[in-house]
Structure 1
Amino acid sequence: MGEYIRGVVVKLHLTPEQEVMFKQNYGCTRKTHNELLNKYKAKYGDSNKIPTKNELNQFLNEFKKELPYLMETESTSLQQARDDLHKAFKNSFKSKRHNPPKFHSKKKTRPSFRQTIRKDKKPVEKNTLTLRKHGKVTFSTSVEYLDLLNSPDTKFNNITVYYDGLNHYASFNIETDAPEQLPLTGEHIGCDINSNKNGWLVTSEG
Structure 2
Amino acid sequence: MPLKGLKVRIYPNKKQKLFIQCNFGYTRFVWNQMLAMLIERHKNNPDAPFLNAYALNNLLPALKKEYPWLKEAESTSLQITNHDLVEAFKKFFKQKHGFPKFKSKKFLKQSYQCKCVNQNIRQAATNSIQLPKLGMLRFRSGKPIPGTVKSVTIRKTFTGNYDAVLLVEDENQVFTKTGNTIGLDFGVSDLLIGSDEQKIPSIRFDKKLSKKLHHWEKRLARRRLQAQKAIAWDRHNHVLQPRQLANFKNVQKAKLMVAKVHEKIAHQRQNYLHQITTKLVKNYDRIVIEDLKTKNMMRNHKLARAIANQAWREIRRMLTYKCAWYGKEFVVVNPYKTSQICSNCGHDDGKHGLGVREWTCPQCTTHHDRDVNAAKNILTLGLGQALVKEL
User: TM-score higher than 0.5 here?
Assistant: yes
Ranked by relative contact order (alpha carbons within 8 Å, sequence separation 6 or more), the top structure is 1
Q: Which amino acid aligns with 2:60?
A: L
- The Cα shift of 1:108 comes to 2.2
- Using a 3 Å threshold, how does the CA distance of structure 1 residues 184 and 32 change in structure 2: closer, same or farther? same
2:87 maps to 87
Gaps of 5+ in 1: none
- The Cα shift of 1:119 comes to 5.7
Contact 1:36 1:59 in 2 (8 A): no
2:179 maps to 185
Structure number with higher strand proportion: 1
- The Cα shift of 1:196 comes to 9.9
Residue among 126, 146, 154 paired with 1:161: 154
- The Cα shift of 1:122 comes to 5.4
Report SS of the residue matched to 2:58: helix
2:56 maps to 56
- Using a 3 Å threshold, how does the CA distance of structure 1 residues 163 and 195 change in structure 2: closer, same or farther? closer
Q: Which amino acid aligns with 2:114?
A: Q
- Using a 3 Å threshold, how does the CA distance of structure 1 residues 50 and 92 change in structure 2: closer, same or farther? farther
Report SS of the residue matched to 1:45: helix
The alignment yields a C-alpha RMSD, in angstroms, of: 2.8
Contact 1:39 1:59 in 2 (8 A): no
1:1-206 equivalent positions in 2, closer than 5 A: 3-45=1-43, 50-96=50-96, 98-108=97-107, 110-118=109-117, 123-125=122-124, 126-142=126-142, 145=143, 147=144, 149=145, 151=146, 154-165=147-158, 166-186=160-180, 188=182, 190-194=198-202
- The Cα shift of 1:120 comes to 6.0
- The Cα shift of 1:130 comes to 0.9
- The Cα shift of 1:39 comes to 1.2
Q: Which amino acid aligns with 1:185?
A: G
Report SS of the residue matched to 2:168: strand
Contact 1:5 1:173 in 2 (8 A): yes
- The Cα shift of 1:31 comes to 0.7
Question: What is the TM-score with the length of structure 2 in the denominator?
Answer: 0.45
Q: Which amino acid aligns with 2:15?
A: E
Question: What is the TM-score with the length of structure 1 in the denominator?
Answer: 0.81
- Using a 3 Å threshold, how does the CA distance of structure 1 residues 78 and 184 change in structure 2: closer, same or farther? same
2:230 maps to none
Contact 2:127 2:139 in 1 (8 A): yes
CA–CA distance in 2 between the matches of 1:15 and 1:121? 19
Structure number with bigger Rg: 2
CA–CA distance in 1 between the matches of 2:60 and 2:108? 21
- Using a 3 Å threshold, how does the CA distance of structure 1 residues 117 and 103 change in structure 2: closer, same or farther? same
Deviates more, 1:64-73 or 1:105-114: 105-114
- Using a 3 Å threshold, how does the CA distance of structure 1 residues 196 and 23 change in structure 2: closer, same or farther? closer
